[in-house]
Amino acid sequence: MSSSGLGGLNKSPNGIVIGLVQLQNPDVSTPAELAAQTGKIVDMVAKARRGNPAMDLVVFPEYALHGLSMRTDDAIMCTLDGPEVAAFKAACIEHAIWGCFSIMELNPQGNPYNTGLIIDDTGEIRLYYRKLHPWVPVEPWEPGNLGVPVCVGPKGAMLSLIICHDGMFPEMAREAAYKGAEVILRTAGYTAPIRHAWKITNQSNAFQNLAQTASVCLCGSDGTFDSMGEGMFCDFDGTVMVEGSHRPDEIIACEMRPDLVREARVHWGVENNIYQFGHRGYVAVKGGAQDCPYTFMQDMVRGEYRLPWEREVRVTDGTSCGFPAPERRYKG
């Protein structure tokens, strides 16, 4: 099993050091405040580099730029070619570090997207993801339409990004791993009531997929909402390697070992679940059964996903959180 390398201070030849920023929860309502918060994030990229010269990737939580107000004003929404993303690219170049960032992305056809970006140390966007599972009924964001992408990160590590509520669905981490992700990043803005579920899903997402997970929330209060920090690094056996606190703007770091993930995926027999999922009972039948025995998967492909208690579900739109009931249907 790998260790944290004392938070990446002792970096191995095959390791990548990731920093998780428990960023102070901001309150952003105007373009001027958006620009100021962009500057704060850029400053934190510099802090990460100063604090750990071995760091390869610095990860900011969901809502790092916009805060938890759920404002959807066009004036503070972002685009890929806007000044905020340009500032993030410049910071990655200046400090020779990869970065993972969160924006609320303008969508002229509907509600904004909750978008995550991984930018490399040359300023190129390597991963572009739109949150597939907004935290309904609280969040108003358009459901993502880019799938679960993966990218080649520092030292060839395969990275993916899922956002907050995404991580509560085991299918999300499974999809990331199925597409090759060795380190699954999870950014969030969760508040304290989700603390237990946050911890166990970060661990289970790692173990069920023989992946390492690196997860972080916003931290502190904006005067209305409180987020919890709680950065976590989990190894592929589900153990917690490094765990953060509730201290705003703390950056926790850990050395991740994707080479050991690759080794486990190839050599593990017992509990190689990401392989065994598609090769059921290979001791009894050559290659294992490779059918799809899961009704919910078959129904979803047909567009017929229905729970036995579907008609009894009471919360099916955002009206309880002050959002009008939508009229248009998803087109994909």
Q: Which active-site residues does the annotation give?
A: 62, 131, 164
- Dihedral (CA of 151, 153, 156, 162) sign: negative
The CB density around residue 292, as the number of other CB atoms within 10 Å, is 10
The CB density around residue 234, as the number of other CB atoms within 10 Å, is 27
Q: Which residue type sits at 204?
A: S
* C-alpha–C-alpha distance, residues 244 and 127, integer Å: 25
Q: What are the phi and psi torsion angles at 252 (to 5°)? A: -100, 150
**Burial class for 135, CB neighbours closer than 10 Å (0-12, 13-18, 19+):** buried
What Cα–Cα distance (Å) separates residue 298 from each residue in 23, 144, 305? 41, 21, 8
What Cα–Cα distance (Å) separates residue 109 from each residue in 74, 115, 148? 12, 16, 21
